Chain A
Amino acid sequence: MSESEKLKLLEEAMEMDEGSLKPELVLDEIEEYDSLTKLAIIVLIEDEFGKKLSASDFKGFTTVADILSVMEA
């Protein structure tokens, strides 16, 4: 899956406009990044990539790129 396809999936999960996410963005600075969004991201990654993320995984995420890096099967 290409980076732009992954970004698009993430934008949908986070209910953000297409093209608004960039890998270098800091997660805590994204207004939409809250507890509800994290739930949506967990569901996305489990459904698309078969991975189960935990709370400690999220603690390790600083940028959008960190999430993109786990979006692999």
Chain B
Amino acid sequence: MALFRTSGVEIKGILCAVPEHREDRTDHEKRFDKEAVDRVLASTEINAIHLGQYAGQTAGDLGFTAADTLLNKLDIDRSKIGILVFVSYATDYRKPGTSSVLQKRLGLSVDCMVTDVGQACAGFVYGQQIVESLMMTSDSKYGLLIVADTGNRMVSRTDHTSLMLGDAGAAILFGRNEMAEHETVLQADGFRFKTIIVPGGGFRDLLPDEESVECSDGVMRTKYELFMDGLGVLSFSTNDVVDSIRAYMTHTHTDIEDYDVFAFHQANMFIIKRMMKKLKLPAEKVPISLHEYGNTSCASIPMALCAGIDNYRNKSEIKVLASGFGIGLAWGVTSFSLNTANIYPIIETGDCYPEGVLNLHEM
């Protein structure tokens, strides 16, 4: 078990931002038969998704809005943020990292290390461990984790997956608390790297032609578009991931009663219901954001926490078990205490950064 123990660091605030532009079955029925839309929505229970592409919003934009809003709400001295980690594959540029752009936009000091981390659905659990590890080996007062994605942007328009992926960005601020401690397990299986993949556009196959080909699942797609092995993902989520949650609870000598909230990556309701059934989890402990926002990749766990917060406000502090899983394949489990006053409602934004589109003549 790849086990990580952190102490002295805790989450001081979580805030998520989604694009204002919303699509639901009315929009989906313009591309697919009503019957197909009914079936997909009945199975996934994803009734709406929010997409940033129509307002020129990137994952970095959503992450910026979430972070800027959070830091203002908490009245944080930004010069005391010594760590910024931006988790996404949907970066603004090939290079530099989007974390560099966010450093400028958020007004962070040069005494702040910034880096991008390439992860998707496991990105919150991986990301929180990375930031906490950096906090523990430094004396930075704050660490900022921003997890964001615009997964729908690289999905074939004829793929049902385009009804499921929603855009979102989440900011999680870490600070000091002597009494805080928790454990995280991170796992990965690169043997299954092709399970969820965009085959072209990377340096392995930089400029493949844009021919649409019928794939094994019957969907026409180009190499620039996401391929997802649905059966492989189901098997992974409901076996490996469920096993990892059970192993985590065994290792930490905890069981379901010790947690107030189980925050899962919001893949779809078919998978989450299956996980709940296998783990025997009561519905009131499993917050859901996917009904209104879909599968929001690495932002899913923060989105679920923020979407479900009204159910937990009666407690000042909740004990959360979080499980993220997806592209890589990568997965992880962590648990932590969270002050419910530090979990903010999801905000919708039309903000973007048009000056990020550069004009070579001006460079």
Residues of A at under 8 Å CB distance from B?
34-36, 38-39, 42-43, 52-55, 58
Interface residues on B, range: 10 to 19
**B205-263 residues at the A interface, CB under 8 angstroms:** 217-218, 229-232, 234-235, 239
Q: Is the CB–CB distance between B231 and A55 below 8 Å?
A: yes
Least CB separation from B273: chain A residue: A43
Q: Which are the 9 A-B pairs with shortest beta-carbon distances?
A: A55-B231, A35-B230, A36-B43, A55-B232, A39-B234, A36-B39, A55-B229, A35-B217, A38-B231
How many Å lie between the Cα of A38 and that of B229 in the bound state? 12
Q: Is the CB–CB distance between A42 and B239 below 8 Å?
A: no
Is residue B270 within 8 Å, beta carbon to beta carbon, of the partner chain?
Answer: yes
Shortest CB distance B210–A (Å): 24
Q: Which of A39, A52, A58 has a CB less than 8 Å from the CB of B270? A: A39
Return the CB mask of B47-83 against A: 1 if under 8 Å, else 0: 0000000000000000000000000000000000000
Least CB separation from B230: chain A residue: A35
How many Å lie between the Cα of A6 and that of B231 in the bound state? 22
How many Å lie between the Cα of A43 and that of B232 in the bound state? 13
Contact A42-B43, Cβ < 8 Å, known A35-B217, A52-B239: no
Contact A54-B43, Cβ < 8 Å, known A35-B230, A39-B230: no
Q: Is the CB–CB distance between A52 and B274 below 8 Å?
A: no
Contact A42-B39, Cβ < 8 Å, known A35-B217, A52-B239: no
Is residue B40 within 8 Å, beta carbon to beta carbon, of the partner chain?
Answer: yes
Shortest CB distance B120–A (Å): 20
